[in-house]
Amino acid sequence: MSLRPVREILQTQTTMEGAGVKLERAFGFGKTKEFDPFLLFDDFRNENPRDYIAGFPWHPHRGIETITYVLAGEVAHGDSLGNKGRMISGDVQWMTAGSGILHQEMPKGDEQGRMHGFQLWANLPASLKMTDPRYQDIPASAIPEVTEDDGTHARIICGNFWGKTGPVEGVSAGKSGAGQFGTDARYIDISVPPGKLKRIKVEVERNAFAYVFAGSGTFRDASDPRAVLTEDGRDPNATPVYDAKNHSLVLFDRGDEIVVQAGPEGIRFLLISGKPLEEPVAWYGPIVMNTQAELQTAMREIQTGKFIKHK
């Protein structure tokens, strides 16, 4: 097995989106090659309703898939095709915008005012950018879970992992055949108990990253269950310094496994991987095409009322 080295550890940047939603952005609107086929990742955990209650009013999407994972509170959604519903704790929505929809998402906190969740944008290959829009609304009860003998726990949202398959499959298939995502991508919510070291396989041809949202740890090799010290803590008698903590995104280089060493509180992270599309990207907000001409066409269609292709 070849260990995937850590290419970069990124900390989120506070960003305002929608009608005034305060969120933490891990990546997006910049790097595409390193994360291909993924475009953007937002952490919208908030404790103060004033930071999220304005929500994300009507806005267009084309050429991408958005994956929303709710941990606390709820998100009501609707679109120009008449689809509507709500997501609550543990639910996932995988939305294929395809040729285009107008969409809105309005968050609401739980009894404590908390609104916790994540949104990932995945690019569609050129052959599927104009496919029919499609939703997969997945309740928490449909997401398989696995607990290893060492206490490591995983919720498998998408893809095959530890003998289980996530409920998202055939995304973007429609009339165009198998899509890029579904069982081809992998989206896993993993919790490693305090002090445990865990090795996890990731196919070498995939780009992969981990987003830490609870606890702390390190994603570097270790021969014993103690924490691996960062370069700033080379003294073996020093207090262990964990280089990945809440709001850290760990981008991996090539290899076929990652190693995570959990800190004293354990660590919980999303492990996301996919095969790169290696296609050109023309991008403006939630509209992602392959050429500037296609992007200009989309913007013109929004202005002339011709954006929605499928009623």
Q: Which amino acid, residue 14? A: T
Q: Do 105 and 23 touch, CB atoms closer than 8 A? A: no
Question: Coil, strand or helix: which one is 22?
Answer: strand
Single out the residue of 189, 41, 25, 51 nearest to residue 107, CA to CA: 51
Q: What share of the chain is helix, strand, coil (3-state, %, to 5)?
A: 10, 50, 45
Q: Which residues pair with 237 in a beta bridge?
A: none
Q: How many CB atoms lie within 10 A of CB 29?
A: 12
- Tell me, what DSSP letter sits at residue 62? B
List, for residues 95-106, the tens digit of each pLDDT value: 999 999 999 999
Backbone angles phi, psi at 133, to 5 degrees: -60, 150
d(CA 86, CA 74): 7
Please give the pLDDT value at position 235.
Answer: 58
Render pLDDT for 87-97 as a digit per residue (tens, 0 to 9).
Answer: 999 999 999 99
d(CA 80, CA 101): 6
Token pair recorded at residue 80: 């120009």
Quick one: pLDDT band at residue 85, thresholds 50, 70, 90?
confident
Listing DSSP states for 125-183 in one string gives: PGGGTTSPPEEEEE-GGGS-EEE-TTS-EEEEEESEETTEE-SB-STT-TTT-S-SSGG
DSSP 202-233: --TTSEEEEEEEEEEEE-S--SSSSPPP-TT-
Looking at residue 179, its pLDDT comes to 43
pLDDT in tens, 151-201: 999 999 999 999 999 998 654 433 333 344 443 789 999 999 999 999 999
Quick one: 131 exposed, middle or buried, by C-beta within 10 A (0-12, 13-18, 19+)?
A: buried
Q: Which two tokens stand for residue 72?
A: 């606390």
Please write the tens of the pLDDT for every residue from 211-264: 999 999 999 765 444 444 444 444 555 566 678 888 999 999 999 999 999 999
252-296 pLDDT, tens digit per residue, is 999 999 999 999 999 999 999 999 999 999 999 899 999 999 999
Give the three-state DSSP class for 249.
strand
pTM of this prediction? Answer: 0.90
